[in-house]
């Protein structure tokens, strides 16, 4: 395997000191799959104090020494080294109460979550694959090491990890592992919201996300109960040929694989059941559902400990996801003035994802959104005045003509609107002349 020179040298130093040492886990899995690994974890028969002595010429940080982990700063690289270990009981459903160190690699591999993550490698000994993880990787299967129920009872986060791997890698979950995962999903209550949300964000950005959302919807309802009402919800709409949750899963998959976009599409219609009206023809309508979806999404994202910047961005995309699209330059300039180029384009991406997940005849609206994005980017390249900062006058200029007051802000808003519409030139003398007109 091609591994960084520093990692090879760390393994070699441990071996020369009389210990076994391997890279293990995700980095080995990625190498087997032909992907470039980014993080390299090392496992060794050396106990933490022995590791510290081997690297006495380096800075060593005791990040998790009671669990056998130290971090060695070696030639510019931060390397995590953990002793072979056997985990004790998991009384909180997340962390072992105690660990005992071992000199046997098999003990360490046997405590890991999935066979694909229980493979070790060293340049000296090659691949050590006691649990046939390589075969499962080649078959694109996620299988627990040992007894699946025990694995998920030990650490409930493994439920979300299994779904994340399935969504990102495109692997299926083996039947016994799937059954145990569904049986133990309630244990997710033992996991911090931050850890769940971290896995959810990665999962949503996976290529296989639609299949995972639909197949494991009850797991998602465990962490977001509000989505359960969407599961078998018939929208009674000519625009839709699927349930509300099926439409949502398709829209998520159709969106660009960015956290803010995938989260926005997960929640973009969550307010629909609360807004439903039926017309005289039996057709369902959902007036105001975007605002209701923002309200629900904001609450859920706060509960999941989403960072404020991402939460606000997601809610803004949802707020405007169904706004009408006009293709005139003037209309798009107004939208750019209100939203900015980045948010406007994300809203158009939301339109595209939403319409791609509806009936076939709505696909024509996808091209409208794409054209709106093209026009918006063309306008933005010309760097027109689209906000108050771009106006050739400011409040200081207006102080010579009027007292500071809320009216000053209103007048600046009028100037900006007329400049954006192209009815007023963004030139200081023209703007001040217009102010005098407004003050008459």
Does 208 lie in the same domain as 111? no
CA 77 to chain centre: 27
Cα(263)–Cα(350) distance, integer angstroms: 11
Cα(340)–Cα(344) distance, integer angstroms: 6
For residue 91, the model assigns a pLDDT of 62
Does 133 lie in the same domain as 187? no
* Domain end position, chosen among 94, 112, 139: 139
Strand partners, 100: 86
User: Is 125 a domain residue?
Assistant: yes
Paired tokens of 192: 């911090």
User: How many domains are there within the chain?
Assistant: 3
User: Is 20 a domain residue?
Assistant: yes
Contact 270, 293 (CB under 8 A): yes
User: Is 424 a domain residue?
Assistant: yes
Q: What is the mean pLDDT of each run of 10 residues along the chain (440 residues)?
A: 92 96 95 90 95 93 85 93 85 68 94 96 95 97 96 94 97 98 95 96 98 98 96 87 94 98 98 92 89 98 97 98 93 95 97 90 88 96 93 90 90 95 94 92
Q: Which pTM value belongs to this model?
A: 0.91
For residue 324, give Cα distances in angstroms to 89, 225, 289, 348, 351.
57, 31, 14, 10, 10
Does 194 lie in the same domain as 120? no
Does 167 lie in the same domain as 102? no
Helices (H), 17-132: 26-32, 48-54, 105-110
For residue 31, give Cα distances in angstroms to 2, 38, 257.
8, 10, 23
Q: Which domain holds residue 165?
A: 146-223
Helices (H), 140-237: 148-154, 157-169, 175-183, 193-204, 209-215, 217-223
Q: Provide the sign of the torsion angle of the four alpha carbons 423, 427, 430, 436, taken in this order.
A: positive
For residue 105, the model assigns a pLDDT of 96
Q: What CATH number does the domain containing 173 carry?
A: 1.10.110.30
User: Is 280 a domain residue?
Assistant: no
* Domain end position, chosen among 201, 223, 245: 223
Does 95 lie in the same domain as 212? no
End-to-end C-alpha distance for the chain, whole angstroms: 79
* Domain end position, chosen among 117, 139, 161: 139
Cα(195)–Cα(126) distance, integer angstroms: 33
Cα(216)–Cα(213) distance, integer angstroms: 6
For residue 440, the model assigns a pLDDT of 81
Does 209 lie in the same domain as 152? yes
User: Is 131 a domain residue?
Assistant: yes
Does 152 lie in the same domain as 120? no
């Amino acid at each position: 395997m091609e591994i960084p020179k520093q990692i090879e040298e760390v393994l070699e130093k441990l071996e020369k000191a009389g210990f076994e040492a391997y890279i293990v886990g995700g980095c080995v899995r990625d190498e087997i799959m032909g992907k470039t690994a980014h993080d390299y974890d090392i496992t060794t028969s050396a106990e933490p104090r022995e590791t510290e002595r081997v690297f006495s010429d380096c800075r060593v940080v005791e990040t998790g020494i009671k669990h056998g982990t130290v971090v060695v700063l070696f030639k510019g690289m931060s390397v995590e080294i953990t002793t072979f270990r056997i985990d004790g009981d998991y009384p909180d459903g997340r962390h072992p109460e105690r660990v005992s160190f071992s000199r046997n690699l098999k003990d360490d591999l046997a405590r890991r979550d999935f066979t694909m993550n229980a493979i070790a490698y060293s340049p000296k000994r090659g691949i050590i694959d006691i649990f046939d993880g390589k075969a499962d990787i080649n078959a694109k299967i996620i299988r627990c090491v040992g007894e699946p129920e025990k694995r998920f009872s030990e650490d409930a986060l493994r439920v979300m990890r299994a779904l994340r791997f399935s969504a990102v890698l495109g692997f299926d979950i083996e039947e016994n592992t799937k059954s145990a995962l569904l049986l133990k999903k309630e244990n997710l209550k033992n996991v911090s919201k931050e850890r769940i949300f971290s896995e959810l964000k990665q999962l949503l950005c996976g290529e296989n996300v639609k299949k995972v959302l639909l197949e494991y919807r009850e797991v998602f309802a465990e962490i977001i109960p509000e989505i359960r009402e969407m599961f078998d919800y018939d929208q009674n709409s000519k625009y839709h040929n699927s349930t509300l949750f099926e439409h949502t899963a398709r829209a998520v998959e159709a969106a660009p694989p960015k956290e803010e976009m995938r989260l926005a599409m997960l929640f973009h219609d969550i307010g629909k059941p609360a807004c439903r009206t039926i017309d005289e023809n039996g057709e369902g309508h959902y007036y105001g559902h975007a605002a209701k979806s923002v309200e629900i999404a904001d609450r859920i994202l706060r509960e999941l400990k989403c960072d404020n910047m991402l939460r606000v961005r997601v809610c803004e995309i949802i707020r405007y996801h169904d706004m009408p699209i006009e293709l005139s330059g003037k209309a798009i300039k107004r939208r750019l003035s209100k939203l900015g180029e980045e948010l406007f384009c994300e809203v158009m991406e939301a339109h595209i994802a939403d319409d791609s997940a509806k009936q076939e005849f709505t696909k024509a609206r996808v091209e409208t959104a794409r054209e709106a994005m093209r026009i918006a980017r063309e306008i933005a390249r010309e760097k027109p005045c689209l906000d108050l900062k771009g106006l050739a006058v400011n409040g200081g200029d207006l102080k010579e003509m009027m007292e500071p007051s809320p009216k000053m802000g209103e007048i600046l808003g009028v100037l900006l609107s007329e400049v954006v519409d192209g009815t007023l030139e963004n030139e200081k003398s023209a703007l001040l002349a217009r102010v005098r007109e407004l003050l008459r």
